[in-house]
Amino acid sequence: MSDAPLLRVAELAKHFPLGGGLLSAPRAWVQAVNGVSFEVRRGECFGLVGESGCGKTTVGRMILGLIPPTRGRVEFDGQDILGLDRRGFGRVRRRMQIIFQDPYSSLDPRMTVERIVAEPLLAGARPPRAERRRVAAGLLDRVGLRAVDLDKYPHEFSGGQRQRIGIARALCARPELIVADEPVSALDVSIQAQVINLLQDLQQEFGLSYIFISHDLSVVEHVCSRIAVMYLGSIVELAPAADFSRAPRHPYTAALLAAVPLPDPHRRGAPPAMEGDVPSPIDPPAGCPFHPRCRYVFDRCPAEKPPLVPAAEGHLVACWLNDGKGLPAQVDGLKVEDGRLLR
Partner 1 sequence: MTGCLLRIEDLSVAFHGPEGNAWAVTGVSFDLNAGETLGVVGESGCGKSVTSLSILGLIPSPPGTIESGRVRFEGRNLLELDPETLRGLRGRDIAMIFQEPMTSLNPVLTIGRQVAEPLMVHRGLSRSAALAQAAEWLERVRIPAARRRLDDFPHQLSGGMRQRVMIAMAMVCRPKLLIADEPTTALDVSIQAQILALMLDLKQETGMALLLITHNLGVVAQMATRVVVMYAGQVVEEAGSADLFDRPFHPYTQGLLRSMPRLGSRTAGTRRRLTEIPGMVPAITATMAGCRFAPRCPHAFEHCRAHPPDLFAVRDGQRARCWLQPYPQRRRSDV
Residue 339 interacts with partner 1 (CB under 8 A): yes or no: yes
Residue 204 interacts with partner 1 (CB under 8 A): yes or no: no
Nearer to partner 1, 128 or 272 (CB): 272
DSSP string, 18-36: ES--SSSPPSEEEEEEEEE
List the one residue out of 14, 41, 85, 26 whose CA is nearest residue 232.
14
Nearer to partner 1, 120 or 289 (CB): 289
Per DSSP, the three-state class of 202 is helix
For the chain, strand residue ranges (E) read 7-18, 28-40, 45-49, 71-76, 79-80, 96-99, 177-181, 209-214, 226-231, 234-240, 309-312, 315-317, 335-337, 340-342
Residue 219 interacts with partner 1 (CB under 8 A): yes or no: yes
Residue 295 interacts with partner 1 (CB under 8 A): yes or no: no
Per DSSP, the three-state class of 274 is coil
Per DSSP, the three-state class of 321 is coil
| Binding residue (CB under 8 A) for partner 1 from 76, 244, 290, 320 | 244
| Binding residue (CB under 8 A) for partner 1 from 43, 65, 138, 240 | 240
List the one residue out of 218, 214, 219, 215 whose CA is nearest residue 261.
218
Residue 263 interacts with partner 1 (CB under 8 A): yes or no: yes
| Binding residue (CB under 8 A) for partner 1 from 68, 128, 265, 333 | 265
List the one residue out of 91, 76, 94, 61 whose CA is nearest residue 7.
76
For 276-325, strand residue ranges (E) read 309-312, 315-317
Nearer to partner 1, 264 or 299 (CB): 264
Residue 245 interacts with partner 1 (CB under 8 A): yes or no: yes
Nearer to partner 1, 41 or 94 (CB): 41
The continuous run of DSSP H or E covering 170 comes out as: helix 159-172
| Binding residue (CB under 8 A) for partner 1 from 89, 142, 200, 295 | 200
Residue 191 interacts with partner 1 (CB under 8 A): yes or no: yes
Site track 20-39 with partner 1 (rule: CB under 8 A), x = hit: --------------------
Residue 39 near residue 75 (C-beta atoms within 8 A):
no
- Stretch of 59-67, 168-176, 264-272, 327-335 lying at the interface with partner 1 (CB under 8 A): 264-272
The continuous run of DSSP H or E covering 257 comes out as: helix 251-259
Residue 291 near residue 318 (C-beta atoms within 8 A):
no
| Binding residue (CB under 8 A) for partner 1 from 109, 197, 286, 310 | 197
Site track 138-177 with partner 1 (rule: CB under 8 A), x = hit: --------------------xxxx----------------
List the one residue out of 227, 219, 225 whose CA is nearest residue 56.
227
Residue 313 interacts with partner 1 (CB under 8 A): yes or no: no
Residue 89 CB, nearest distance to partner 1 (Å)? Answer: 34
Residue 160 CB, nearest distance to partner 1 (Å)? Answer: 6
- Stretch of 4-12, 70-78, 92-100, 271-279 lying at the interface with partner 1 (CB under 8 A): 271-279
Q: Which parts of this chain interact with partner 1 (CB under 8 A)? A: 51-52, 158-161, 188-194, 196-197, 200, 215, 217-219, 221-223, 240-242, 244-246, 255-266, 268-269, 271-278, 338-339
